[in-house]
Amino acid sequence: MSVLQPDALALASPLARRNPTVKLALLFVVSAVLLLVLDPMTPAVLYVLVAGAVLLGTGVRPRALLVAQLPFVAFALGVLLVNMLSRPGEVVWQGAGLRVTAEGLWVGAGLAGRTLLMGLLSVAFVATTDGVALVTSLHQHARLGAKVTFAVLAGYRLLQQMGAEWQTIRRAQSVRAPLGRRGRPRVGLRGHAASAFALLVGSVRRGDRVAGTLELRGLGDGDRTTWRPVPLDRRDAVFAGAVLGVLGLVLVGASVAGVLEGPGALF
């Protein structure tokens, strides 16, 4: 299973049944709070709690979750290395023209942990949220206009089709490509560039046709009904309260333990 494309198991999980707008709002709130946290201990505790909740409440397999985290791991390592090697402070190691400072390690570990935690939250959101339900919920509950939401929905549908379109273009190019010594098509860099250009042109044409269709159907003129409304009930309020409550408890606990640090750690 690819975490970036939710399957039936993930979309039937308890977390997937929560309102998409509520989950998106919580993602923004938690991310905004984390921007003010710069110690490594607080993100580490939150990461363990979120990872456990994701594995238990989403149906995502540990291996799939780990693979989805790899881009965030690479970015987090880069942040850690830059801070530990460039930030001034008490030198803990020096050699080969490099020096590592204690302050750089502390701040770098905090920023890296924050990156991993935000990545985990984003992966959990994508894995348990259907795109159509998200756009419908934003129209219902976030009061976004029909022009915006239906345009986003059309774009989401086109994006879903791009993978299959790319495979079709590549196969067509392979049929026309000359064969190499082993009898395999030789595509090369120019072939990939041509495929990418063909995909771009096809996407622009489909987008133009979709825009014309939406305009002909009077998109945005008057009130519009929703075919499959997305529910919003007390369980979503309980879910939001639980997430914010756990976040608050961890922050208070880190403050009482004396490990919580904010933006002042950068200076």
Between CA 59 and CA 127 the distance in angstroms is 9
Q: Which of 107, 140, 133 is nearest to 223 (CA)?
A: 140
In this model, does residue 212 exceed pLDDT 80?
no
Between CA 27 and CA 30 the distance in angstroms is 5
CA atoms within 13 A on the CB side of 222: 4
Between CA 128 and CA 12 the distance in angstroms is 8
Q: Return the sign of the alpha-carbon dihedral for residues 111, 117, 121, 124.
A: positive
pLDDT of residue 189: 74
Instruction: Compare 220 and 214 and report the one with higher pLDDT.
Output: 214
Q: The domain containing residue 185 runs over which residues? A: 146-216
Task: Tell whether 116 and 156 lie within a shared domain.
Answer: no
- Digit-coded pLDDT (tens) for 58-115: 777 888 888 888 888 989 998 888 888 887 777 777 777 777 787 888 888 888 999 9
Range with the poorest average pLDDT among 68-72, 208-212, 249-253? 208-212
Q: Is residue 103 part of a domain?
A: yes
Q: Is residue 226 part of a domain?
A: no
Residue 148 has phi, psi (to 5 degrees) of -70, -50
Total of domains in the chain = 2
Residue 178 has phi, psi (to 5 degrees) of -70, 155
- The residue length of the chain stands at 267
Q: Which tokens go with 228?
A: 């499959």
Q: Is residue 34 part of a domain?
A: yes
Q: Is residue 140 part of a domain?
A: no
Q: What is the DSSP letter of 142?
A: S
| Residue with tokens 């639980």, as numbered in its chain | 242
Task: Tell whether 64 and 124 lie within a shared domain.
Answer: yes
Strand partners, 91: 101
